[in-house]
A = this chain, B = another copy of it.
Amino acid sequence: MADKLAAIRYEIALANRILANEGVVDAFGHCTARHPTNPKRYLMSVSRAPELVEPSDIVEFDLDSRPVKKDKRPFYSERVIHGEIYKARPDVMSVCHHHAPSFMPLVITGIDYVPVFHLGAVGGAYPPFWDQRKEFGDTNLLVVKPEEGASLAKRLGNHKMVLMNRHGVTAVGANVRETVFRCIYSAKNAEYQIAAAGAGAVDALSAGEVEQCAAIHTKTTGQARAWEYWSVRLKKAGGMPKGRALSR
């Protein structure tokens, strides 16, 4: 158990750093995981830029996003994005909230995300939009109240991502690596989709292609290859977390 917990804390730190190194997150954004043995808990860093997260920064929260142990360090204010999704979606083992630059043209205009190349299928076709203003009026756009988190989770439904108007994206996965893979390749897809739309008529994947491409790219072979690649890139950039990966 202790080993499993140490392994997932390292994995979460590594995931946050990879997402930063690959340009998905900057000073803001967060990637979390459900507790490996207690499904009523999730694991999230204290308030730090993702690129700087260490395993020792990872704290345990209950699904109402309250810390399980007292901790004097500041927490992220948007914890309920994670807590409410873990509550609503038992299948979800990892959540990432981000503002990847290539997604911003979509969330600012409300243009639908559509897979335009095989790897973009991991984001799914036509993920829903959630506009905080519609239900909650003018806010500071941070998702901080439980009812805001619950509303977002409801809008996510059974999708893999939900796009948040004038804000960003929240994506989920069956494990940390799948979530990271989804965030990185959906961000590339968003980039290519907007670039292609500016050049001509977009030829999107068919529903059948989306299904088959998503299936193959959530298998472990491609994900293992990509994870090794992103880890080596992070290492070259001098960005590895302290400690070391434990067997999973």
Chain A, interface size category, equals: 35 or more
The complex places the Cα of A140 from the Cα of B208 at a distance, in Å, of 8
Tell me whether A198 is interfacial, beta carbon within 8 Å. Answer: yes
Q: Within the complex, what minimum Cβ distance (angstroms) separates A183 from chain B? A: 14
Q: Within the complex, what minimum Cβ distance (angstroms) separates A75 from chain B? A: 10
Contact A212 B117 (CB under 8 A): no
Residues of B within 8 A of A154 (CB): none
Contact A118 B140 (CB under 8 A): yes
The complex places the Cα of A117 from the Cα of B212 at a distance, in Å, of 34
Tell me whether A243 is interfacial, beta carbon within 8 Å. Answer: no
Contact A108 B192 (CB under 8 A): yes
Contact B209 A199 (CB under 8 A): no
**Contact residues of A with B, CB < 8 Å?**
26-28, 47-49, 51-52, 74, 77, 99, 101, 104-111, 116-119, 133, 137-142, 165-168, 188, 191-206, 208-209, 211-213, 215-216, 221-222, 225-226, 228-230, 232-233, 236-239
Known A200-B111, A228-B49: A208·B105 in contact at CB below 8 Å = no
Number of this chain's copies in the assembly equals 4
**Nearest residue, chain B, Cβ from A141:** B118
Contact B116 A209 (CB under 8 A): no
Contact B48 A228 (CB under 8 A): yes
Known A140-B209, A226-B27: A104·B116 in contact at CB below 8 Å = yes
Q: Within the complex, what minimum Cβ distance (angstroms) separates A196 from chain B? A: 4
Residues of B within 8 A of A222 (CB): 27-28
**Nearest residue, chain B, Cβ from A236:** B238
Q: Within the complex, what minimum Cβ distance (angstroms) separates A74 from chain B? A: 6
Contact A166 B118 (CB under 8 A): yes
The complex places the Cα of A165 from the Cα of B192 at a distance, in Å, of 13
Contact A167 B117 (CB under 8 A): yes
Contact B198 A133 (CB under 8 A): no
Contact A168 B138 (CB under 8 A): no
- Contact pick for A133, options B107, B142, B188, B206, CB 8 Å: B206
What are 11 A-B pairs at a CB distance below 8 A?
A27-B222, A49-B228, A105-B196, A108-B116, A109-B199, A111-B200, A138-B208, A141-B205, A165-B203, A198-B198, A236-B237
Residues of B within 8 A of A105 (CB): 192, 195-196, 198-200
